[in-house]
Every structure is written in C-alpha cells, then in structure tokens.
Amino acid sequence: MTDISSILHGGYHHPLSRSWQGTTQLTKSMLIYPLFITDNPDEETPISSLPNQSRRGLNKLVPYLKPLITKGLKSVILFGVPLAEGTKDSCGTSASDPNGPVISAIKLLRQEFPELFIVCDVCLCEYTDHGHCGILREDGTLENEASVKRIAEVAVSYAKAGAHCVAPSDMMDGRIKGIKLGLIEAGLAHKVLLMSYAAKFAGPWYGPFREAAGSAPAFGDRRCYQLPSNARGLARRAITRDLSEGADVIMVKPAANFLDIISDAKQVSPDTPIAAYHVSGEYAMLHAAAKAGVFELRKAVEDVMTGILRAGATIIVSYFTPEFLEWLDE
Ligand SMILES: NCc1[nH]cc(CCC(=O)O)c1CC(=O)O
Ligand SMILES: [Zn+2]
Ligand SMILES: [Zn+2]
C-alpha cells in the first residue's frame, strides 16, 4: 500500500487546483512591449529576423497600438532607430534630439494614450557612429565618466518629455547614480521610475535587435561592459551596486538561460520588483523552432514565461506581448 504522504496527484487533478499550486500567474500588467521607432514618419518595415515585428514611424504608431491597448496593453518600451543621413556622431547627440523619434513618440503616446506606461530604453549605441553604448577614448576603450554624464542627460531628456520610466541598458559604471542625481536636479525623481538593466550579459542573443535598431558595433564587441555569462557573482555585485545607487527595478537580460540570476536578484533584494527581458534572439529562436515543427509555439512560449516567473520575475519585457494579450483572454 502507498504511504499517505506519497500521494501528490490529488492536489492537482483539476485545472483550478493546478492553478492553486502555482506561485505566480502571468497577468497583462506584467508585460512591457518593445517598439522600434524610426525618424521616417510614414515607415512601417517588417524586421526580417523578428517575425511579426516592424520598425515604425510616428504616423504608424497610434493605429498599430490602438487595438492592442483595447486588448489590455499597459506598457511599452521605446527604442529609437535614426535612419536619416548624418544623425550619428561620436557621442550620440541625436539620442536626446527634441524632434527625434523617441521624444516625439513619448509626447504623442502621452497625448493619445494617457493610461499607457511609457518606458524608454536609454543607450547611445543606436546614435553613435561607432555603435558602442558609451563615449570612447582615442584608444577605443570607454570613457566612463563622459559616458555617464551623457547617458544621464539623455535619460533626463526623456523624463522631461514625459516618460514614466527610464531604463539604461548601456552598462556604464555609476550610471544609475548619475541618472538619479539628474532626475533629482530636474525635479522629476519623485515621479520617474528608474529601471536598471543591472544584470545584462554579453552573448549571442541580441543579433535580431541590432539588425532592427542598426546598433551593431562598428568594431570590437561589448564584452568589456556587458557581463560575462559565467559571472554569477559579478552579476550579484552589479545588482547590489545598482540598488545602492537608486534603482527602483532590477532587470535581468537575457531571461531564459539566466533563471539563476533572476532568482539571485530576488534573493539579494526580495522587496524589489525584478524584470526579465526575453530578448530578440530568444524570441526568434522560439519562432524558428516552432516553424521547424519542434513544438507548438504557444505551449513553448507559455512554458518559458512560466519559468521566468517561477525564478522570481514579476515584470517581463517581451516581443510576445501582443500574443499574450489574446491568450490571456481565453
Ligand atoms: N544597448 C541597447 C540594447 N537595449 C536592448 C538590447 C537588446 C534587446 C533584444 O535583443 O531584444 C540592446 C542591444 C545590445 O545591447 O546590443
Ligand atoms: Zn547600447
Ligand atoms: Zn577592452
């Protein structure tokens, strides 16, 4: 005879009882949807390496978002894609162009969709001619102090334009503090959330994004500022450091292969919301595998997201957001 304590099945036989076993359930409020915004107002160009995603100009934004907002979209993260000649230079001047795609989009979206929570990615790589995320010295290495100063200026310019959240992805040392001080000085620190890409790892997962944003480095790579993927301890230190500098939310990126880092972030600071960025390469990989018949897309995507939640994230940046707005209604 079976021992009474060995029977687990009774606890999850019914769909409702199965849901009771869960610790966290994905909801629409947890999702942030990435948008690529160009400086060409009428453009709408599919991104070949990112199925179902497009680069859009300002005039295409509202018609695209309206039905998603009706379905419950709560938040977007904006990435600027300057395409015009002469918009890139050595220090990313156009990142804070008051007439550039990001600042124009913030204003438009605030006006059209007052309930939408607007996150702005803050980085220089889309705006520098060398494609690196900071300002460089003559020898090609980063000039950290000048980079932080510039990145803080860019973040404050987005906050002044009406962004609810600034999310620096550049990985310079000390940029969280630099941005926080900038927000305080501008009188905006009480109403702008600072989300740090605290544990952002170098690796093969950002390729489709760089194609979409035109932000691949012209030489070298990002391994001197993004974290080595074997560096669990360094990631914990970066998380602790960014919290001490004033981060309101800690992000881990990529997501699916870094669940230990998500759970470390949760352990380092149990009371801080943890975001996970399910990145372009992870998205493209699931699409490719589903297309090859490996699995049904929806089942795999739901399982990956469940893993991310189980690890401790309660905010997910995902290109699958439009799908989830449908799936969560069923
Ligand atoms: N620094 C810019 C930035 N912000 C977010 C991503 C990647 C997002 C994705 O792959 O979906 C990148 C690319 C990179 O660091 O090279
Ligand atoms: Zn960058
Ligand atoms: Zn180096």
Residues 6+ apart with CB under 8 A from 45: 38, 54, 55
Q: What pLDDT is recorded for position 14?
A: 96
Mean pLDDT of 112-139: 97
Q: What pLDDT is recorded for position 236?
A: 98
Mean pLDDT of 312-320: 98
Mean pLDDT of 64-76: 98
Q: Is the pLDDT of residue 1 over 80?
A: no
Tokens in use for 21? 């076993």
Take atom 5 of ligand 1 and give the residue whose Cα is closest: 169
Q: Is the pLDDT of residue 263 over 90?
A: yes
Segment among 10-14, 57-61, 276-280 with least mean pLDDT? 10-14
- Of the chain, the percentage scoring pLDDT greater than 70 comes to 99
Mean pLDDT of 67-71: 98
Q: What pLDDT is recorded for position 88?
A: 96
CA dist., res. 227 & res. 221, Å (int): 12
Which ligand has the nearest atom to the CA of 49? 1
SS3 136: strand
Q: To which residue do tokens 């699958």 refer?
A: 320
Q: Is the pLDDT of residue 209 over 90?
A: yes
Q: Which positions are annotated as active-site residues?
A: 200, 253
CA dist., res. 257 & res. 200, Å (int): 12
For residue 323, the CA-to-ligand 3 centroid distance in Å is 40
For residue 330, the CA-to-ligand 2 centroid distance in Å is 37
Assigned CATH for 25-327: 3.20.20.70
E strand or H helix that includes residue 312: none
Q: What pLDDT is recorded for position 142?
A: 96
Residues 6+ apart with CB under 8 A from 6: none
For residue 132, the CA-to-ligand 2 centroid distance in Å is 6
- Per-residue pLDDT reduced to its tens digit, 144-194: 999 999 999 999 999 999 999 999 999 999 999 999 999 999 999 999 999
Bridge partners for 79 per DSSP: 36
Tell me how far apart the terminal alpha carbons of the chain are, to the nearest angstrom. Answer: 41
Tokens in use for 169? 């992805």
Interface confidence: ipTM more than 0.90 = yes
* Among 209, 225, 229, residue to substitute to test ligand 1 (most atoms within 8 Å of Cβ): 209
Q: Is the pLDDT of residue 2 over 80?
A: no
Q: Is the pLDDT of residue 93 over 90?
A: yes
Annotated binding site for Zn(2+): which residue ranges? 123, 125, 133
Q: Is the pLDDT of residue 242 over 90?
A: yes
- Per-residue pLDDT reduced to its tens digit, 19-35: 889 888 999 999 999 99
What are the residue boundaries of the structural domains of the chain, listed by start?
25-327
Question: pLDDT-derived band of residue 277, with 50, 70 and 90 as boundaries?
Answer: very high
Phi first, then psi, for residue 221 (nearest 5°) are -145, -170
Q: What pLDDT is recorded for position 272?
A: 96
